[in-house]
Chains A and B, each alone.
Chain A
Amino acid sequence: MNTSQVLVQVRGLKKYFPITRGILIQRQVGAIRAVDDVSFDIYRGETLGLVGESGCGKTTTGRTLIQLYRPTAGQVLYDGVDLTREKGQSLRNKRRKIQMIFQDPYASLNPRWTISRIIGEPLRVHKIITGRKAQEERVQELLELVGLDPCHTNRYPHEFSGGQRQRIGVARALASDPEFLVCDEPISALDVSIQAQVVNLLEDLQDKFGLTYLFIAHDLSMVRHICNRVAVMYLGVIVEMSDQDEVYDHPQHPYTKALLSAVPIPDPRATRARQRVILEGDVPSPSNPPAGCRFHPRCPIAGEECRMDVPIWREAAPGHWVACHKV
């Protein structure tokens, strides 16, 4: 991996969703701070994992990054171009190289469209291939690429199983020859025996086309398998980021430590021999995040400064970034 080539630069990204009151006259009474000042780089050809619990803002980060949501503040530089300033046709042109794979393979395919129309849509939208025959051929090629029968172009999504539908989602994402794929929990809706199939497919495609992935997931075991680097999110902020083995073998942030120790290992001896950090309580509401370090109410080692000051995002070891007063 060539680490000098940065493909995506995210700088100070924020996304707040307004909370409104009133039916006729709506006024804003607060904001859900789903993503609150997040910065990171994604290198060309790598897989960056974005992990965290539900509601921590990982999906919102992914969606804001590709401008499905417009950010409240911050920049997203893709190949040096700030996507947050682009709009209309110009944004669409830039976005041709950025595609997304969604979590729910049942909800993300239009049930009334044939597979051919679903996968062919990017070809029509971006006018990549014109002419029905040529489009059809490309769709068949894509189906074959993701391991489906190319004769099934006239079928509808309900005729496929969950794993096959996710492959259709992958084929659609690949239709416009993208460089960068945002995979938003692509395997969490699938059965265990199917998850490995989809993960292997994503790895093969990465090797073949030199794709770059942002892999959003809550399954920490799978993230360790597929990612080169990992960023851990908690309540709208990134608390730790490093190479995957570094994060998993030498976690620095107390939240990362707790999260990792909570993941069950499919081996009774190993899992029962482990020292577990059981966190108290739940994740607080992002509309009113705690002052200071956001993790301090649940943190087993929190001190006075954690309640007062926001910890600085710093490099604790080469390439290992962490935001914690106690590290």
Chain B
Amino acid sequence: MDPLLEVRNLKVQFNTLEGVVHAVNGVSFQLEKGKTMGIVGESGCGKSVTMLSVMRLIKEPPGRITEGEVLFQEQDLLKLAKSSMHDIRGAKIAMVFQDPMTSLNPVLTIGHQISEALVVHSGIGKEEAYKKTLDLLEMVGIPQANERYKDYPHQFSGGMRQRVMIAIGLSCKPDILIADEPTTALDVTIQAQIVELTKKLQAQFGMAVIWITHDLGVVAEIADRMIVMYAGYMVEEADVYQIYENPRHPYTLSLLKSLPRVDRKKHDRLANIQGSPPDCIQMPPGCPFRPRCGFGVERCAEENPGLMTVAEGHKMACWVDVTTGRTR
């Protein structure tokens, strides 16, 4: 099956006073229709920048997409004119952001903000947009939609605001919904509600979802495939079951080992990863994870391993085979 979205060798830089930040260094992946892709990594690893670049929401300057292609419906989004991007954003690919307080306009009613997207993209009248907005509010589980239509964002709780954001995202029945840390600012019980809601709506509309998060627990719950990013590089990509059961990159492996589990008794100290992520301005030569890696060999210091296929549908970037300890 042809992928719905294909990103090829995407590279993004930012010019800052301290130097050039290499935020994304060659990200490639394919997203299939109706599937969920999880992108995980720590702050500053380039996961949000990757998806903002796909949406062409990077501010240029200081940002610059230096290389790559983003293929969606037989066109390269990176080459589209700004005006044609308007027809894609919101209508075909929608995005839900992390902080539902700052991404909603505080001086406009919730109803206005949801119907705006409908009026702009589907060209329907105000009357019809009003009805559709009520349907959407109900669908995302906001009770008394009729009354809440006229409420302002500050009258909603964090979880409810995120539901409103999802309603806006879904208003035009997009093919892809990009969720950028949608539950990070929320409590666990509310997070569980949002995850369930997204799964339900995904089954209903058959849209594909890209879920960006730093929480390896949430990805395990929602994703079909996942990408692990580190310092702007993709270090591993595979089916979720494969990654959790058989992680092949030292970073993924140690990250999973460092997590305590709510369903298990404590047995030992947490495995920890020494040091902290590198500065994306002065990247060390070779593999970006080498200074913190327990498996390093000489070659790691000289040459950055590219992504290689280690099993069917399982790619990773490391010179060492963590299961045997042998170099490639």
Report which A residues bind B (CB closer than 8 A).
53-54, 161, 163-164, 191-197, 199-200, 203, 218, 220-222, 224-225, 244-245, 248, 258-272, 276, 278-279, 282-283
Contact = CB atoms under 8 A, between A and B. Distances in A.
B244 A278 contact: no
B20 interface: no
Interface string B202-242: 00000000000011111011000000000000000000110
A268 B157 CA distance: 30
A221 B245 CA distance: 19
A156 B137 CA distance: 49
A260 B262 contact: yes
A263 B186 CA distance: 12
26 contacts: A191-B214, A191-B277, A192-B259, A193-B258, A193-B272, A196-B270, A196-B272, A218-B187, A218-B188, A220-B262, A222-B260, A224-B266, A225-B270, A260-B262, A264-B188, A264-B195, A265-B262, A269-B244, A271-B221, A272-B220, A276-B196, A278-B189, A278-B196, A279-B189, A279-B193, A282-B157
A282 B262 contact: no
Contacts of B216: 192, 266
A249 to B, nearest CB: 8
Interface string B145-189: 000000000000101100000000000000000000000000111
A250 to B, nearest CB: 13
Interface centre among B43, B217, B241 (most CB of A within 10 A): B217
B192 A276 contact: yes
A271 B192 CA distance: 12
Contact of A53 (B189, B263, B273, B277): B189
Interface of B: 42-43, 157, 159-160, 187-193, 195-196, 214-218, 220-221, 240-241, 244-245, 254-256, 258-266, 269-274, 276-277, 292
A62 B72 CA distance: 52
Contacts of A193: 42, 254-255, 258, 272-273, 276-277, 292
Nearest to A266: B216
